[in-house]
Amino acid sequence: MFLKIIHACKTSKRKVQLSFCCMRSILSLSLSLSLSLSYFFFPFRHDIMKWNGWGYSDSRFLFNKKGQAEFTGKRYRLSGLILPSLKDWFEGTFGANLQHKSPATPALNVSAVPPPNLNESFVEELKAAGVALSQEPEDRVFRSHGHCLHEIFALREGRISRVPDLVVWPSCHNDVVKIVELACKHNVCLIPYGGGTSVSSALECPPEETRSIVSLDTSQMNRILWIDEKNLTAHVEAGIIGQDLERQLNESGYCTGHEPDSMEFSSLGGWVATRASGMKKNIYGNIEDLVVHIKMVTPRGVIEKSCQGPRMSTGPDIHHFIMGSEGTLGVVTEVTMKIRPVPEYQKYGSIVFPNFQQGVACLREVAKQRCAPASIRLMDNEQFQFGHALKPQVSSIFTSFLDGLKKFYITKFKGFDPHHLCVATLLFEGDREKVLQHEKQVYDIAAKFGGLAAGEDNGQRGYMLTFVIAYLRDLGMDYYVIGESFETSVPWDRVLDLCRNVKERIVRECKERGVQFPPLSTCRVTQTYDAGACVYFYFAFNYRGLSDPIHVYENVEHAAREEILANGGSLSHHHGVGKLRKEWMKEAVSTVGLGMLKSVKEYVDPSNIFGNRNLL
């Protein structure tokens, strides 16, 4: 029976995979077909994805010959559209100039990649076990980094530091068991690799590592093994990418509802390893709420619970050693997750507030009444203007007239100051009637805080911003603008103070470090909780005139994090610690807390096979 399910899934999976393959070049398809079965799903990810930037190769922002911004490709709502106001916003905000370009190295210089330091006997035994592997420079470089600014910046400049020496592609749990056994036997360092969307330097190879480093790419473990409709759970291999998981579940009428901003590229295993949070956590919960069962392979053996009871009092929850372990203890191979029927109805919405304070007060009230929609986010004024710059060309005079009218109503009639107003974006989900009822409740609360409903369109555009922001960073980097986002969580009463102080700290630090133009320093509240909120900062500046922009950038980000901690914010809400924020771990969890985590590591992985040196 069990096998049957797997089989069924595999077939349906192949269909999906084939459609996925359509996006690839015919050449790579035929190539992969000509290889043995285990190579069938061979991941030439860099054929469809950029090697030195975010996302799909075919999707990027550029300024066309007329100097207008456009977004290429066909994948997104914005794709193929002209964005007339982006140029002015871009030049105005950053003091950037389309004449001053800072283009990236066009292709990877293979000779710059250090030759692999292979552990021959390990490789031999791995080959004998039939595990797919590669030592091609492209494959290794592709898995040597996440998406921190300094990582991408170095790639664009063609600088390659330590990269994994070998990439292996296990196709199932047992493959992983084999790989980990061999790694222990031959003392090689394993770095698990899921979607590669880390923004905490978690995937960086520690330069001090002398052993052979093997990147364990989970992308081939991407099957839904079974769906249990009685208990509403699905058992899934941990390498599956977010959008594939949702799409495949949707085909059976279900979803997990877990939608982190990176869901196009990030993997289930990565979510578990970093304690990910999804946009719609208000309905579905964060990853720790969604997970029912985890299987992880460690140097000590496999760790898992013996049943799928929905809650247990069996000592500290061992899942919590796994969630957030950031690849330091083992590889998550399979996960049982809660699933829900696909909601009948979805509706976007938005609210304009006269200022950020009122907006935060409204979100707090919504959280207090526990009536938050699937997602509710509050952008500050700078981000509102940013979002506005991404408005595509209006097709009809009527729409532009309507826009003008709206603007007039809000700024003139209602007296909102365009330099203070801010916007909350909303997403409601559920059955139609309840959604409409819910919507009314939220808008009624908003009205008490001076909020005005501002339409579905603004809401939807707000969420789109999330998906394209990373593409925009690549555009910035073509014109001397570098930037990054970072996040925190903070009690309600400190939200405003933290936002103001961190934004101001960024501006001040930039000035003190010789940045010639005022930076973009903006934030939004992206999640609400009973006792606090998650705050997300975007920060970018024009680096012309700086000799070491990355160093300046890192100093400013460091200062911003210090400011966050000083204002009662957490070290991270969902990005994780990695190596980037490791220095603050002791302060964050106390010496004893850190010792606890270290002792777990000591027991599970005494030879530091999982040697990415994150977290501890």
Query: Which residue from 566, 583, 599, 602 is in contact with other proteins, where contact means CB under 8 A?
Result: 566
Indicate the residue type of 392.
Answer: P
Q: Is 194 annotated as a binding residue?
A: yes
Dmax (CA) of the chain: 76
Residue 95: half-sphere exposure toward Cβ, Cα within 13 Å = 11
Nearest approach, Cβ of 489 to other proteins (angstroms)? 12
Q: Least separation, in Å, of the C-beta of 502 and other proteins?
A: 10
Q: How far is the CB of 532 from other proteins (least distance, A)?
A: 12
Strand order in the sheet with 233-237: 224-228, 233-237, 331-338, 291-298, 301-303
Residues 232-251 touching other proteins, rule: CB under 8 A, are none
Q: How far is the CB of 504 from other proteins (least distance, A)?
A: 5
The answer to whether the CB of 542 falls within 8 A of the CB of 96 is yes
Residue 565 within binding range of other proteins, rule CB under 8 A: yes
Pick between residue 205 and residue 499 the one whose CB is nearest to other proteins.
499
Please, which residue, 194 or 532, has the CB nearer to other proteins? 532
Residues 6 or more apart whose CB falls under 8 angstroms from that of 139 comprise: 46, 167
Query: Chain-centre distance of CA 595, in angstroms?
Result: 29
Closer Cβ to other proteins, 568 or 595, answer by number: 568
Amino acid residing at 170: P
Characterize the bridge pairing of strands 213-217 and 532-542.
unpaired
Which of 158, 206, 455, 568: binder of other proteins (CB under 8 A)? 568
531 binds other proteins (CB under 8 A): no
Q: Which residue, 101 or 448, has its beta carbon nearer to other proteins?
A: 448
Closer residue to other proteins, CB minimum distance, 228 or 562: 562
Specify the residue, 24 or 500, whose C-beta has the smaller distance to other proteins.
500
Q: Is 330 labeled as ligand-binding?
A: yes
Strands 213-217 and 189-193 come out as: parallel
Q: How far is the CB of 567 from other proteins (least distance, A)?
A: 4
Burial group, residue 282, by CB count within 10 angstroms (0-12, 13-18, 19+): buried
Measured from the CB atom, the residue of 518 and 568 that comes closer to other proteins is 568
Is position 87 an interface residue for other proteins (rule: CB under 8 A)?
Answer: no
CA Rg, the chain, in Å? 24
Residue 548 in contact with other proteins, rule: CB under 8 A: no
Whole-number Å distance between alpha carbons of 379 and 266: 24
107-124 burial, b at 16+ Cβ within 10 Å, e below that, comes to: ebeeeebeebeebeebbe
Residue 500 binds other proteins (CB under 8 A): yes
- Give the contacts of 498 (CB within 8 A, at least 6 positions apart): 488, 490, 535, 564, 567, 568, 569
Candidate segments 298-306, 431-439, 496-504, 533-541, binder of other proteins by CB under 8 A: 496-504
Burial class (CB in 10 A: 0-12, 13-18, 19+), 95: middle
Active site residue 76: no
Nearest alpha carbon to residue 218 among 275, 144, 143: 143
Q: Which of 485, 487, 486, 463 is nearest to 476 (CA)?
A: 485
- Only one of the segments 103-111, 227-235, 564-572, 605-613 lies at the binding site for other proteins (rule: CB under 8 A); that segment is 564-572
Residue 11 annotated as part of some ligand binding site: no
Rounded to whole angstroms, the Cα distance separating 489 from 572 reads: 7
**Is residue 331 marked as binding?**
yes
When the beta carbons of 202 and 367 are compared against other proteins, the nearer one is 367
Instruction: Give the residue with the Cβ less far from other proteins, 211 or 364.
Output: 364
- Supply 197's token pair: 């969307």
Q: Give the contacts of 572 (CB within 8 A, at least 6 positions apart).
A: 200, 487, 488, 581
State the number of binding residues for other proteins (CB under 8 A). Answer: 13
CA pair distance 561, 170, nearest whole angstrom: 37
Contacts 24+ apart (CB under 8 A), 432-438: 432/344, 432/345, 435/345, 435/346, 435/347, 436/347, 438/371, 438/373
Q: Please identify, using beta-carbon distances, which residue of 444 and 587 lies nearer to other proteins.
A: 587
Q: Count other C-beta atoms under 10 Å from residue 250's C-beta.
A: 11
Q: Which of 418, 489, 490, 424 is nearest to 463 (CA)?
A: 424
Pick the piece of the chain touching other proteins (CB under 8 A) from 182-190, 208-216, 497-505, 526-534.
497-505
Q: Is 473 annotated as a binding residue?
A: yes
**415 CB-near residues (< 8 Å, 6+ apart):** 354
Of 149-157, 298-306, 474-482, 490-498, the window that binds other proteins (rule: CB under 8 A) is 490-498
Residue with tokens 């552990």: 119
Among 157, 493, 583, 602, binds other proteins (CB under 8 A): 493
> Binder to other proteins among 157, 504, 548, 602 (CB under 8 A)?
504
Least gap, CB of 283 to other proteins (angstroms): 30
Which member of 56, 254, 536, 538 is catalytic? 536
276 is in an annotated binding site: yes
CB of 490 to other proteins, least distance (A): 10
Minimum CB separation from other proteins for residue 372, in Å? 23
- Cα 240 to the center of its chain, rounded Å: 15
Q: Binding of other proteins at residue 110 (CB under 8 A)? A: no
Burial 505-531 (b: 16+ CB within 10 A, else e): bbbebbeebebebebbbbbbbbbbbee
Q: How far is the CB of 363 from other proteins (least distance, A)?
A: 19
Among positions 498, 546, 560, 604, the unique one binding other proteins when judged by CB under 8 A: 498
344: three-class secondary structure by DSSP = coil
**Shortest separation between residue 450's beta carbon and other proteins, angstroms:** 15
Distance in Å, CB of 615 to other proteins, minimum: 20
Say whether residue 558 binds other proteins (CB under 8 A).
no
Q: In this complex, which beta carbon is closest to other proteins, that of residue 164 or of residue 532?
A: 532
Q: Which amino acid is at 308?
A: Q
Determine, following the binding rule CB under 8 A, whether residue 417 of this chain makes contact with other proteins: no
Annotation-wise, does 197 bind a ligand?
Answer: yes
131 assigned to a ligand binding site? no
Binding residue for other proteins (CB under 8 A) from 494, 513, 558, 586? Answer: 494
Is 327 assigned to a binding site? yes
Strand order from edge to edge, sheet including 166-169: 132-134, 166-169, 213-217, 189-193
User: Of residues 12, 501, 555, 608, which one binds other proteins by CB under 8 A?
Assistant: 501
If one asks whether residue 258 binds other proteins (CB under 8 A), the answer comes out as no
Residue 222 touching other proteins (CB under 8 A): no
Which residue positions form the known binding site for FAD? 192-198, 274-277, 326-332
Annotated binding site for substrate: 473
The footprint of other proteins (CB under 8 A) covers 493-494, 497-498, 500-501, 504-505, 565-568, 587
Known catalytic residues are 536
Known binding residues: 192-198, 274-277, 326-332, 473
